[in-house]
Chains A and B, each alone.
Chain A
Amino acid sequence: MQVKYESQLREPLIYGKKTYHDLTEDIIRPIEAKPTRLWYIGFFVAVALLCFGIFSVYRDVTYGIGQWNLNKSVGWGWDITNFVWWVGIGHAGTLISAILLLFRQGWRTGVNRAAEAMTIFAVMCAGQFPVWHMGRVWMGFFVLPYINTRGPVWPNFNSPLLWDVFAISTYLTVSLLFWYSGLIPDMATVRDRAKTKFRKFFYGITSFGWTGSAKHWQRHEALSLVLAGLSTPLVLSVHTIVSFDFATSVVPGWHSTIFPPYFVAGAIFSGFAMVQTLMLVVRKVFALEDYITIGHIEAMNKVIILTGSIVGVAYCTELFIAYYSQNKYEQYYFGFSSGNLFSPYGWVFYSLMFCNVIAPQIFWFRKMRRNIYVTFFLSIIINCGMWFERFWIIVPALFRDYLPSSWSVYYAPTIWEIGFYLGTFGLFFTCFFLFAKYFPIIALFEVKHILKTTGESYKDQVTNIEEEAVEKFAQENLHHH
């Protein structure tokens, strides 16, 4: 039997004197209890937003996307900005569950379930934008390459927009599988405790006959690792291909070789900000402070400062290369002459620099990383900043093109573009509220797995190991090599 030991210098990941049973109680209880009034209010607001979104989209289909303010030079506006923004948010979940699983990070267990759910909902929201942007959405299936009766009409395989179709649908599929396969053991736990008919039926079906036998667990572990292995390159590929949408072009400000890794870092950055926003609320509402501890929040803030700084280096690299290349179009985009930094969109650039590069530097201070209010505030700032970043990349690069006669048009969204965006918030939160009500919001079996090494009361018991000489400790525990 492997000794259950972890250095006492690490913070516990589960606070309190907890037993396995306490864990089950704490995490499953919200599912079995009646939702609070706050839940109803939140859910109602989300559904209302969703309805507004549906109505906006209904108008788009009826009247065409002419009701948006897109124009001759700004062919992509809020729609694609929102698309990239949501896809970016959809990166944290799979990073947490896949890459951090491969890195054996114990703290992922407290947040992975909700983050994965968030990922799936965010990708669902992202998908809406290119779909409804098509205008004649009933022709949407044309993007799929299949043997057809339209003659030699195939999607353009040279286009990164088509690669996006494959990348995002693959990502959604694998993330969904990952999330769901992780849910099965916990669904079975809920099923086994179920008292009402509905619960017995619903969780009976959704747990796929899980019995918890050794064989089941063995397969489950193997599947998790395989899915983690598959998802890891996917985390990189999705936003890489989104960045190709821009970088393969010859548009100044879009064509830059650093785009792929820089988009991925930005995506993880924004994803973690959204996880923070949600988890800070969730831990309070569901009283899960013992499981989503300050330590978890600090760890995520560290990821935020890391990815935020990578993004910062990338911004500066882009500015520098615009200068260094002495390419006048690049320089125009970055405003070394009378260009875009001083254009009507200049404020977007300054906002994104503030929100994404300057503001997160506060997390160099441990006190700030561990402060819930600062974290929450910063997470909102970063969410805004990352939206500005995408808007900055897309719109100013387009709005003053090579033809000065089209320069006069300043692009601002119509109410229906805004409505569509708000609608995706509605979709996102409707799904999230339902998820929080009907699914275990923390991966119960994974938290149980780490309880005896990182639970507070268990960590107190390893003092004798801590004081032991390493030679003796090795003698006792190194038999198998």
Chain B
Amino acid sequence: MIALREKFKIPKKLKAIAALLLIIGILTILSGFFTKGLSTDNAVSAQFWGVLMYNTIFWTLICNASMFFVCFTTLAMGGWQASFRRVPEAISCMVPIFGVLTFLILFYVVAIDHNYHIYGWLNTDVVQHDEVLKGKQGFLNVKFYLIWTVLTLALWSLLGWRMRVLSSEADKGPLLGEKGKKYIWKNTVTASLFVVWFALTVGSTVPWFWMMSIDPHWYSSMYSWYTFASSFVSGLSLIALWVVYLKNNNYLELTNQEHLHDLGKFIFAFSIFWTYLWFAQFMLIWYANIPDEVVYFKHRMQGAYRGIFFLNLIINFVFPILLLMSNDSKRKYNWIAFMATFIILGHWMDFYQMVMGSLSKQEVSLSWFDFGVLAFFVGVMIYGVAFALTKKPLIAKYNPFLKESVIHHS
């Protein structure tokens, strides 16, 4: 009999790292808050709130991507991920926490600060004299923005919580025959609800609200799917990072290179998918060259953001396609961990240029401040996920597909 280490104990080193990151993060945020955040000049305070915005949106979306992973593998009746399913479940516990942060920050920007510099459509004086913005008021208004944001975050958290509750059943006793079918059925129902809501939020409305409306005149029908691809591939990388971490600490005995290989394939495939959407959006706008649309790429490709524009492609496309192509590369724990970190950083930068690229068009504001804020979010994530991992056995012993996962061959 293999003995399974079910209980995760947070190593001291991990706690120390998280604490360090948190301290750096909090100090950075405080200093930013007092130097920029409180400024009555919208353009200055936008430099503070904008950074918080893209970080909190990014981390909420990528943690929510974990629940999306759980749900779509449930719907597809995937067996292979059963051995490490508790990892994405734990990551998804961060959705309510980051969700509250997201809401607070957006609420402040929209309802308290009325930051015109971030959301031009908040400025009623401008809107009154702008036919286009006037026409958008049915969608771009504070009430709808906030209600939809609350609804989105609440339902993600609620349905995710429900999925995790259902998953606990697989700790209690064998799920064979009719019992197993019932278990799968219940999971399927909740997972479908989650996926539908996911499509109606990440797949369409939410990126329009939170990020696309920063350039209130500009539009692209691809925008939301692009945001989804960017956050999803980072979410997969985050799962892989935690799996490797647990493996390196001698947990997850039933997970091996075969599972990591398939996670690696997903990361590889969705890196290419992201590139595909990136290319489709960029090329069509570039080719048609309609002034309304090219404004978005003008300063990104030819102005101050030129470096980031190409770096984005190099990190998120060239590196994954070259470095994750071979079989071996996807089966090495440390290599996957390295690539996953790299890809998360790459897409974090993608979110940076999506938000800050619209807020400060003349110069790239990326500085120690951005990395300090990133440290805060990483610190919170490490603490939160590690804590969530301690709450449940690391392997759901009676998951009906667990044995398939044990003998899985990638």
Contact = CB atoms under 8 A, between A and B. Distances in A.
Nearest to B192: A364
Given A9-B180, A324-B208, A471-B1, A478 B406 contact: yes
Contacts of A102: 265
A313 interface: yes
A321 B221 contact: yes
B403 A317 contact: no
A327 interface: yes
B406 A470 contact: yes
Contacts of A467: 174, 176
Interface string A226-265: 0000000100100010001001111000011111110000
B288 A255 contact: yes
Interface string A447-463: 00000000000000000
Contacts of A435: none
Residue of A240, A320, A467, A468 most packed against chain B (CB within 10 A): A320
A471 B395 CA distance: 11
Main secondary structure of the interface of A (DSSP, over half): helix
Given A2-B409, A233-B272, A470-B397, A7 B220 contact: no
B262 to A, nearest CB: 9
B277 interface: yes
Contacts of A468: 403
A9 B222 contact: no
Nearest to B75: A302
B139 interface: yes
Given A258-B222, A317-B204, A478-B2, A10 B77 contact: yes
Nearest to B135: A326
Given A7-B401, A258-B225, A326-B136, A473 B256 contact: no
B202 to A, nearest CB: 11
Interface in B204-230: 204, 208, 219-225
A465 B407 CA distance: 12
A326 B285 CA distance: 17
A261 B138 CA distance: 28
B280 interface: yes
Contacts of A469: 1
Contacts of A260: 276-277, 280, 284
A222 to B, nearest CB: 12
A211 B176 CA distance: 43
B79 interface: yes
Contacts, number: 135
Nearest to B220: A257
A51 B265 CA distance: 48
A245 B102 CA distance: 40
Given A313-B204, A470-B254, A475 B290 contact: no
A471 B4 contact: yes
A472 B220 CA distance: 54
Contacts of B368: none
Interface string A203-234: 00000000000000000000000000000010
A3 B407 CA distance: 8
A259 B219 contact: no
Query: What is the interface residue range for chain A against chain B?
Result: 35 or more
B185 to A, nearest CB: 9
B355 interface: no
Contacts of A3: 407
B136 A250 contact: no
Nearest to A260: B280
Interface in A1-41: 2-3, 5-10
A477 interface: yes
A403 interface: no
Contacts of B139: 323-324
Given A317-B204, A321-B221, A470 B402 contact: yes
A314 B400 CA distance: 36
A250 B288 contact: yes
Given A9-B400, A317-B224, A325-B219, A472 B288 contact: no
A102 B225 CA distance: 23
B292 interface: yes
A474 interface: yes
B407 A477 contact: yes
A99 to B, nearest CB: 10
A309 B277 CA distance: 19
Contacts of A318: 221
Given A2-B409, A5-B403, A250 B284 contact: no
A316 interface: yes
A423 B325 CA distance: 44
Contact of B400 (A7, A261, A324, A472): A7
A197 interface: no
A78 B222 CA distance: 28
B184 interface: yes
A195 interface: no
A81 B285 CA distance: 24
A248 B2 contact: no
A364 B2 CA distance: 41
Nearest to B203: A313
Nearest first, the 8 A-B pairs at minimum CB distance are A257-B222, A258-B221, A260-B280, A326-B135, A481-B256, A326-B132, A321-B221, A471-B1
17 contacts: A2-B407, A7-B180, A7-B403, A8-B176, A9-B401, A236-B276, A240-B276, A240-B280, A248-B283, A257-B223, A259-B280, A260-B284, A313-B203, A364-B192, A467-B176, A470-B4, A474-B2
Interface of B: 1-4, 75, 77, 79, 131-132, 135-136, 138-139, 174, 176-177, 180-181, 184, 192, 196, 199-200, 203-204, 208, 219-225, 253-254, 256-258, 265, 272, 276-277, 280-281, 283-285, 287-288, 290, 292, 395, 397-398, 400-404, 406-407, 409
Interface of A: 2-3, 5-10, 102, 233, 236, 240, 244, 247-250, 255-261, 302, 309-310, 313-314, 316-318, 320-321, 323-327, 364, 465-475, 477-478, 481
